[in-house]
């Protein structure tokens, strides 16, 4: 039999304290502790390893200071929660199975009002899976996925019919998506999601508030689908460069609002597919920074009723375009006499009111050709492509019809939104040394010729 | 121009290979000295360094927000700059080399020493290569210094890879320039041809391919390989690959290349560049060796 000492301290509030000694030798039977505990009890786990594959079937708080490891032994789900009002706090959960159709998870919840906070999940297929667990809180967890081929990965966070849940300040790396199915009134705040497929993925989830998240180096930063009245605000969305990667993709959305987001260095900043889908609804894009993307905003043909104002479009290879060509008819680029800032605007502001006196027109010949001949994207940003645009301006006979007309372009870019996370990279010693070496080489070459002459 | 160092001629007696190497180095040093004293060299070196440093500093202010994405911007601008200036440096310097020396009689004087035509050719090539590498390094060093100090150093590896690619490009362009030089009758004609070749590489080739693609629905594989055959495009694609990571971003042709060539993609592109570095120079050497004119 195992050696263990169970200390039950019956304090006023019924705290149960468990201190397994010699824990290193054999995992403690957590299920037995759960079975022994009274409903509403608090299990304070001491440092050590506990056997996973447990089911919590009564309201319970299980917590630790990050030293209790619950190991699933690479099989099945590590912790299953079947009772409401369960709190899991400060645990290390590791080693779920890797079977996708069984949905092997770190923490799988089937009951409402759970709190999952400050846990670390390692080597799990699905991380935190809330299945019909409304009014829950998922906060400050760190989730690391199983290192398998992308098609075999599970979701770092997956919510199914779990309305009014708060998902905040989690860090998710790898895995597939953080995905929300049929969940209304979610609050998704301060999460940092990287190296996954879709950073945040909304399916039929209405009225979500998505704020101050960082979605970095995923295939798609955030894919919003079939949902209504979603607000995406102050997020940092960068480096989402999958072959069909988007910073934010909107498919069949209604009434989405994107405000003060930083969309930087993605393949496509914002992608619009049949959004808004209902006639008479407008979608707002205000105060966003679209910078250094391959394409700032990409529309499918016949997408209408989107309003863009006070955004900055800065040095995107293609600022905005319609897939397969065409014009942006039915969308507005100015609201109440305020347009957007365009880094390639070549007009002037003689009256000094901050608004350009001639409209911004997107009528690059190269862009125009690109719409119909996507294969010449091979030449984007070459001197030849620039020369083509220059020629089109000099000889307007081949000037294409403008795709976009912003009648009130902003001369100065609006102040960029404050980033939720600082991406500032460290000065690099390698580059410093390399650069100095290069300059030194140049100097030595020049000096060597001088010395020869003096001989 | 300074006289060829006499001691080399006296030492020719020992091992022929070593003597040949010594002759090449001596000519290279003389050529390097001439290049460094020429106005062309300083004009290119200073213009390139200034532009590179300015580009790096205007592209970086967004780095707190943009992180490494702003480095992508610096790199893209730098690549565009290199595409324009570096070939012009290599081509003009190469085109003037032999033709101008032939015209001024310096070549005849050089060949009156105990050096053969092979040694003279590779000596000139080596000297000019070192001069060009120094000029390119000064520019990249300046841009790199600005980038390193003002952050953006997350991709130091990519920056250094682009530098190496630019070195290869400048030597390739020198080779093409020298090829023009050995065929041209006069230095001014060589310079004119060099500028035209530069125009063809940088603008006309791409515009022609774009036009062909638009007019004839050229298949993407033909378009891709026709593009890579251009050394300046090979440089751009290789540089892009090293700081973006994948050529997927270049639309259907890029996706085709990634799919069709897989892990061989970068070696193929860099291979093209290396061939351009070797073949024109060898061609020029063969012509120069067999030609009777001095």
What's the whole-number mean pLDDT along residues B185-194? 92
Q: Which of A206-215, A311-320, A433-442, B236-245 has the highest mean pLDDT?
A: A206-215
- pLDDT at position B9: 46
- pLDDT at position B294: 61
Share the mean pLDDT of chain B: 85
Domain locations in chain B? 6-290
Compute the nearest-CA separation of B219 from chain A (Å).
Answer: 9
Instruction: Take residue B211 and report the two structure tokens written for it.
Output: 């036009």
Do B93 and B132 meet the contact criterion of CB atoms below 8 Å apart? yes
- pLDDT at position A7: 39
SS3 state at A322: strand
Distance CA B280, CA A375 (A): 30
Instruction: Take residue A116 and report the two structure tokens written for it.
Output: 């999952």
- Taking only the tens place, the pLDDT of each residue in A323-339 is 877 777 889 999 999 99
Distance CA A303, CA A251 (A): 10
The interface residues of chain A toward chain B in range 189-248, judged by CB-CB distance below 8 A, are: 236, 238-239, 241, 243
Closest by Cα among B51, B54, B52, B71 to B63: B71
Q: How far is CA B282 from CA B17, B75, B279, B287, in A?
A: 19, 32, 5, 9
Per the CB < 8 Å rule, is A425 touching B37? no
Q: How far is CA B187 from CA B183, B194, B236, in A?
A: 10, 10, 30
Instruction: Take residue A18 and report the two structure tokens written for it.
Output: 């468990």
- pLDDT at position A305: 93
- Residues 6 or more apart whose CB falls under 8 angstroms from that of B32 comprise A445, A448, A449, B127, B128, B130, B131
- Residues 6 or more apart whose CB falls under 8 angstroms from that of A401 comprise A327, A363
What's the whole-number mean pLDDT along residues B224-237? 93
Do A273 and A248 meet the contact criterion of CB atoms below 8 Å apart? no
Residue with structure tokens 């490494």?
Answer: B68
In this model, does residue A8 exceed pLDDT 50? Answer: no
Q: Which string of b and e fits A67-85 if b means at least 16 CB within 10 Å? A: ebbbbbebebbbbbbebbb
- Residues 6 or more apart whose CB falls under 8 angstroms from that of A199 comprise A177, A178, A193, A213, A215, A216, A218, A220, A221, A222, A237, A240
Q: pLDDT class for A64, splitting at 50, 70, 90?
A: very high
- pLDDT at position B111: 86
- Nearest neighbour of B130 by CB, restricted to A372, A375, A445: A445
- Nearest neighbour of B33 by CB, restricted to A236, A388, A452: A452
Share the mean pLDDT of chain A: 87
SS3 state at A298: strand
- Taking only the tens place, the pLDDT of each residue in A353-390 is 999 999 998 877 887 788 778 888 888 888 888 888 88
Q: What is the DSSP string of A137-182?
A: EEES-EEEE----GGG---SEEEES-TT-EEES-EEESSS-EEEES
Closest by Cα among B78, B181, B169, B186 to B129: B169
Q: pLDDT class for A241, splitting at 50, 70, 90?
A: confident
What's the whole-number mean pLDDT along residues A7-34? 57
Instruction: Take residue B15 and report the two structure tokens written for it.
Output: 């091992």
- Taking only the tens place, the pLDDT of each residue in A418-453 is 888 776 556 678 888 888 999 999 999 888 887 554
Q: Which of B66, B76, B79, B230 is the best substitution to test chain A (most A C-beta atoms within 10 A)?
A: B66
- Taking only the tens place, the pLDDT of each residue in A272-303 is 999 999 888 899 999 999 988 888 999 998 89
What's the whole-number mean pLDDT along residues A318-323? 87
Per the CB < 8 Å rule, is B76 touching A441? no
Where is B56: in which H helix or E strand?
helix B39-59
Where is A105: in which H helix or E strand?
strand A105-109
- pLDDT at position A11: 39
Q: pLDDT class for B144, splitting at 50, 70, 90?
A: confident
Distance CA A186, CA A136 (A): 10
- Residues 6 or more apart whose CB falls under 8 angstroms from that of A344 comprise A319
Find the farthest-apart pair of alpha carbons in chain B and give their distance in angstroms, rounded. 66
Q: Is B15 on the interface with A (CB under 8 A)?
A: no
- Taking only the tens place, the pLDDT of each residue in B74-123 is 788 888 889 999 999 999 999 998 888 888 888 888 888 888 888 889 99
Per the CB < 8 Å rule, is B149 touching A424? no
Q: Is A292 on the interface with B (CB under 8 A)?
A: yes
Check residue B154 and report its DSSP letter.
Answer: G
Q: Which string of b and e fits B119-138 if b means at least 16 CB within 10 Å? A: bbbbbbbbbbbbbbbbbbbb
SS3 state at A329: coil
User: Where is pLDDT greater, at B152 or A443?
Assistant: A443
In chain B, residues with a C-beta closer than 8 Å to the C-beta of A436 are: 141, 145
> Helix count (H) and strand count (E) of chain A?
4, 40
In chain A, residues with a C-beta closer than 8 Å to the C-beta of B203 are: 383-384, 387
Closest by Cα among B244, B46, B50, B60 to B149: B60
- Residues 6 or more apart whose CB falls under 8 angstroms from that of B58 comprise none
Closest by Cα among A180, A229, A230, A237 to A210: A230
Do A256 and A285 meet the contact criterion of CB atoms below 8 Å apart? no
Do A40 and A16 meet the contact criterion of CB atoms below 8 Å apart? no
Q: Give me the half-sphere count of Cα atoms (radius 13 Å) on the Cβ side of residue A349.
A: 14
Per the CB < 8 Å rule, is B150 touching A427? yes
- Taking only the tens place, the pLDDT of each residue in B43-60 is 888 998 898 888 877 765
Per the CB < 8 Å rule, is A432 touching B246? no
In this model, does residue A10 exceed pLDDT 50? Answer: no
What's the whole-number mean pLDDT along residues B172-195? 94
Where is B271: in which H helix or E strand?
helix B265-290
What are the start-end ranges of the H helices in B150-219?
156-183, 187-199, 205-216
- pLDDT at position B52: 86
- pLDDT at position B164: 94
Q: Which string of b and e fits A15-26 if b means at least 16 CB within 10 Å? A: ebebebeebeee
What's the whole-number mean pLDDT along residues B191-215? 91
In chain A, residues with a C-beta closer than 8 Å to the C-beta of B151 are: 424-427
Q: pLDDT class for B1, splitting at 50, 70, 90?
A: very low
Q: Give φ, ψ of A441 to 5 degrees.
A: -60, -45
- Residues 6 or more apart whose CB falls under 8 angstroms from that of B181 comprise B94, B95, B96, B97, B98, B99, B190, B284
- pLDDT at position A21: 43
Distance CA A398, CA A365 (A): 8
What's the whole-number mean pLDDT along residues A146-156? 87
- pLDDT at position B68: 61
- A202: Cα separation from own chain's centroid: 12
Q: Which of A292-306, B96-110, B142-156, B249-263 has the lowest mean pLDDT?
A: B142-156
Do A246 and A271 meet the contact criterion of CB atoms below 8 Å apart? yes
Cis geometry, peptide bond prior to residue B45 (ω within 30 degrees of 0) = no
Compute the nearest-CA separation of B101 from chain A (Å).
Answer: 19
CA dihedral B166, B167, B173, B174 (to 10 degrees): 160
Enumerate the β-bridge partners of residue A338: A335
Per the CB < 8 Å rule, is A427 touching B140? no
Per the CB < 8 Å rule, is A424 touching B63? yes
Provide the number of CB pairs (under 8 Å) joining chain A to chain B. 218
Per the CB < 8 Å rule, is A385 touching B206? yes
Q: pLDDT class for B17, splitting at 50, 70, 90?
A: confident
- pLDDT at position A455: 41
């Amino acid at each position: 039999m195992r050696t263990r000492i169970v200390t039950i301290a019956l304090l006023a509030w019924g705290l149960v304290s468990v201190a397994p000694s010699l824990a290193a030798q054999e995992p403690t039977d957590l299920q037995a502790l759960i079975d022994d505990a009274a409903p509403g009890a608090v299990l304070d786990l001491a440092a050590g390893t506990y056997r996973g594959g447990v089911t919590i079937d009564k309201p319970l708080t299980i917590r630790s200071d990050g030293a209790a490891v619950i190991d699933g032994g690479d099989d099945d789900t590590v912790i299953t929660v079947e009772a409401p009002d369960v709190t899991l706090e400060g645990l290390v959960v590791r080693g779920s199975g890797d079977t996708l159709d069984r949905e092997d998870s770190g923490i799988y919840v089937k009951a409402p009002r759970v709190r999952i906070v400050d846990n670390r999940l390692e080597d799990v297929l699905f991380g935190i899976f809330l299945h019909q667990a409304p009014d829950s809180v998922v906060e400050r967890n760190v989730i690391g996925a199983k290192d398998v081929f992308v098609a075999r990965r599970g979701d770092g966070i997956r919510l199914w019919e779990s309305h009014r849940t708060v998902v905040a300040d989690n860090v998710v790396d790898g895995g597939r998506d953080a995905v929300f199915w049929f969940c209304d009134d979610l609050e998704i705040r301060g999460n940092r999601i990287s190296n996954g497929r879709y950073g945040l993925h909304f399916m039929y989830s209405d009225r979500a508030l998505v704020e101050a998240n960082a979605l970095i180096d995923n295939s798609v930063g955030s894919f919003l689908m079939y949902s209504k009245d979603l607000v995406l605000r102050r997020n940092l969305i960068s480096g989402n460069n999958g072959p069909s990667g988007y910073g934010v993709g909107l498919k069949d959305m209604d009434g989405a609002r994107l405000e003060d987001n930083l969309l930087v260095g993605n393949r496509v900043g914002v992608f619009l597919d049949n959004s808004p889908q209902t006639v008479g609804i407008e979608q707002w894009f205000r105060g966003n920074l679209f910078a250094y993307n391959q394409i700032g905003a990409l529309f499918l043909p016949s997408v209408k009723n989107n309003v863009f104002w006070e955004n900055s479009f800065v040095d995107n290879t293609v600022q905005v375009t319609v897939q397969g060509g065409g014009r942006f008819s039915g969308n507005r680029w100015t609201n109440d006499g305020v347009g957007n800032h365009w880094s390639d605007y070549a007009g002037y502001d003689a009256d000094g009111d901050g608004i350009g006196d001639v409209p911004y027109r997107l009528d690059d010949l190269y862009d125009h050709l690109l719409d119909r001949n996507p294969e010449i994207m091979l030449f984007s940003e070459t001197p030849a492509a620039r020369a083509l645009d220059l020629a089109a301006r000099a000889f307007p006979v081949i000037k294409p019809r403008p795709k976009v007309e912003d009648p009130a372009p902003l001369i100065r870019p609006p102040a960029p939104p404050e980033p939720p996370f600082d991406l500032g990279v460290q000065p690099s010693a390698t580059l410093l040394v390399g650069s100095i070496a290069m300059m030194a080489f140049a100097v030595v070459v020049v000096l060597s010729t001088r010395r020869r002459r003096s001989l | 121009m300074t006289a060829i160092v006499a001691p080399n001629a006296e030492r020719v007696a020992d091992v022929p290979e070593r003597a040949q190497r010594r002759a090449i180095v001596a000519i290279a040093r003389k050529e390097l000295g001439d290049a460094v004293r020429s106005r062309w060299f300083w004009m290119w070196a200073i213009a390139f360094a200034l532009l590179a440093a300015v580009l790096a500093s205007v592209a970086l202010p967004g780095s707190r927000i943009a992180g490494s994405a702003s480095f992508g911007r610096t790199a893209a601008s730098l690549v565009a700059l290199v595409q324009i200036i570096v070939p012009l440096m290599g081509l003009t310097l190469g085109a003037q080399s032999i033709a101008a020396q032939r015209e001024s009689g310096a070549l005849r004087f050089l060949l009156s020493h105990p050096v053969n035509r092979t040694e003279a050719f590779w000596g000139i090539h080596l000297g000019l290569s070192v001069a060009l590498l120094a000029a390119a390094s000064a520019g990249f060093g300046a841009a790199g210094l600005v980038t390193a100090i003002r952050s953006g150093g997350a991709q130091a590896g990519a920056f250094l890879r682009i530098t190496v690619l630019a070195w290869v490009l400048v030597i390739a362009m020198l080779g093409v320039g020298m090829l023009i030089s050995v065929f041209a009758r006069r230095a001014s004609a060589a310079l004119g041809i060099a500028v035209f070749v530069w125009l063809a590489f940088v603008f006309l080739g791409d515009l022609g391919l774009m036009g062909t693609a638009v007019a004839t629905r050229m298949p993407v594989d033909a378009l891709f390989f026709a593009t890579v055959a251009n050394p300046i495009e090979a440089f751009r694609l290789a540089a892009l690959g090293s700081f973006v990571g994948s050529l997927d971003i270049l639309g259907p042709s890029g996706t085709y290349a990634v799919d069709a060539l897989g892990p061989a993609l970068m070696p193929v592109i860099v291979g093209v560049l290396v061939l351009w570095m070797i073949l024109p120079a060898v061609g020029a050497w063969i012509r120069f060796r067999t030609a009777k004119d001095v």
